[in-house]
Amino acid sequence: MTFEIKGWCPGALRPMMSGDGLVVRVRPHAGRFSAAQASGVAQAAREYGSGQIDLSSRANLQLRGVRPESHGALLSALAALGLLDPDALAESRRNIVVSPFWSEKGLERILAEELETALASSNIVLPGKFGFAIDCGRERVLDQVPADIRIERGAGQCLIVRPDGAECGLAVKASEASATALAVAKWFVESGGMTGGRGRMAAHMRNGATLPHALSGGIQPVVPARQPQPGYTAGGVLVGVPFGSMHADTLEELARRAPELRMTPWRMIFLPSAHEMPAGLDLVTRADDPLLRVEACTGAPWCPQACSETRSLARQLAAFVPEGATLHVSGCAKGCACSRRAVTLVATASGFGLIPNGTASDHAVVTGLSASQIISDPALYLGGS
Ligand code: SF4
């Protein structure tokens, strides 16, 4: 089985063609959409696309099924909402994930704005997937989220800038953080971290790259927190979006119920200041919802590389996945939805393969399974009894 690895992320100005039309990624500023912006994005998704919206693992929204002839009008709508970068290069550089749990008194928003400005005014060319994380709460919540340069809290709650893969970071004042992060990014490029438009910081560090003295520090970051779960949290409510995919109507309804929506990299949306769980929508509102135990990629008919539908099968199997386990249903061996080991069902041209504990590209111990065969005896295949 072969599959295509693109090595870059779609944007609004540089969309990616998929089986259902263009995928147009919308990057909020500081991870935040105002209710008016979220409502505008929902309307644009219906008017210029299929109305289907995905949450990306970089805390962005992706509008699916956009017709190529409507792309220009969609860009105008996004520009009117303040969600369009000046050009595709600036857009690709603005790859910043922000911890969603910031308060107006915190540093996150201002750091994100300063880093956006520093990146926009630089002429640096970074690999397509290179990104930054701003994670400076008392505990780190973006520890498991891919990012190449991190602005975090260190021991004593000082601010540090840490390249991914380094154990320690450099203590900085808040006013120096964005310039230091940009300097580390420039060092990455100049020291040979990027080849053929690709490259990641952790691999560069593993390969023995050494930061210059002025950019290296000895401060360890604070301990990571457990991954947040849907439910009530300090400061608001966190809702899960099944498989990270929702209809524009759901986004619009959320925008009616909250003044602000913060995107997360966990297929969840944080509603700051909300006191009530949004009811009556296809959302995950409890930490024990079985849908949290399943992962499934876009699958057929939307992805041209998919050998099967995936999400309906995953929904039907969710209740049978043992607590603490994860079931991953993948439309092909690329495994876009889940890179960690799990009970994996991978679609091929001749049925599903079962990998009891691995990734979608691992060897299947049983092959040629049909969806109905698996549904008829889930415990046999998922190890539930
Ligand atoms: S894993 Fe799923 S979404 Fe990714 S390429 Fe394969 S079928 Fe498409």
Strand-strand pairing, 351-358 and 149-153: unpaired
Strand 16-18's sheet: what is its strand order?
16-18, 21-26, 61-66, 52-55, 245-247
pLDDT value of residue 385: 45
The rounded Å distance from CA 346 to ligand 1 centre is 10
pLDDT value of residue 105: 87
d(CA 133, CA 143): 9
Contact (CB, 8 A) for 161 and 181 = yes
d(CA 42, CA 67): 16
Two domains, one topology: 16-89+228-272 and 290-382: no
Strand 132-135's sheet: what is its strand order?
96-98, 132-135, 149-153, 159-163, 170-172
- Nearest-CA neighbor of 232 among 267, 262, 274, 260? 274
Contact (CB, 8 A) for 283 and 241 = yes
How large is the angle between the packed helices 248-257 and 35-48, nearest 10 degrees?
Answer: 160
Tokens representing 33 are 């959409």
For ligand 1, say whether the CB of 161 is within 6 Å of any of its atoms.
no
d(CA 297, CA 306): 9
d(CA 274, CA 289): 21
d(CA 155, CA 167): 13
pLDDT value of residue 351: 97
Cα torsion 272, 227, 140, 147 to 10°: value is -100
Could you tell me the fold of the domain covering 16-89+228-272?
A: Sulfite Reductase Hemoprotein; domain 2 (3.90.480)
For ligand 1, say whether the CB of 329 is within 6 Å of any of its atoms.
no
pLDDT value of residue 179: 97
pLDDT value of residue 19: 83
Where are the domains positioned within the chain?
16-89+228-272, 102-215, 290-382
Strand-strand pairing, 342-348 and 327-330: parallel
Distance set, CA 235 to CA 56, 104, 275, 276 (Å): 23, 11, 9, 12
pLDDT value of residue 251: 98
pTM of the model: 0.91
d(CA 198, CA 202): 13
pLDDT value of residue 104: 86
For ligand 1, say whether the CB of 308 is within 6 Å of any of its atoms.
no
Q: What are the per-10-residue average pLDDT scores of the chain (385 residues)?
A: 62 90 95 98 98 95 96 97 94 95 92 96 92 94 96 93 97 97 98 92 96 96 93 93 97 96 97 92 95 94 92 96 94 93 97 96 96 95 70
pLDDT value of residue 149: 98
For ligand 1, say whether the CB of 244 is within 6 Å of any of its atoms.
no
For ligand 1, say whether the CB of 264 is within 6 Å of any of its atoms.
no
Q: For residue 191, give the 3-state DSSP assignment.
A: coil
Which amino acid, one-letter code, is at 206?
Answer: R
Could you tell me the fold of the domain covering 290-382?
A: Sulfite Reductase Hemoprotein; domain 1 (3.30.413)
Q: For residue 374, give the 3-state DSSP assignment.
A: helix
Residue to substitute in 305, 311, 346 for testing ligand 1 pocket (most ligand atoms within 8 angstroms of CB): 305
pLDDT value of residue 28: 97
The ligand 1 atom at the shortest distance from the C-alpha of residue 332 is 6
The rounded Å distance from CA 347 to ligand 1 centre is 10
DSSP assigned state of 240: E
Over the range 319-341, which residues count as b (16 or more CB within 10 Å of their CB) and which as e? ebbeeeebbbbbbbbbbbbbeee
pLDDT value of residue 234: 83
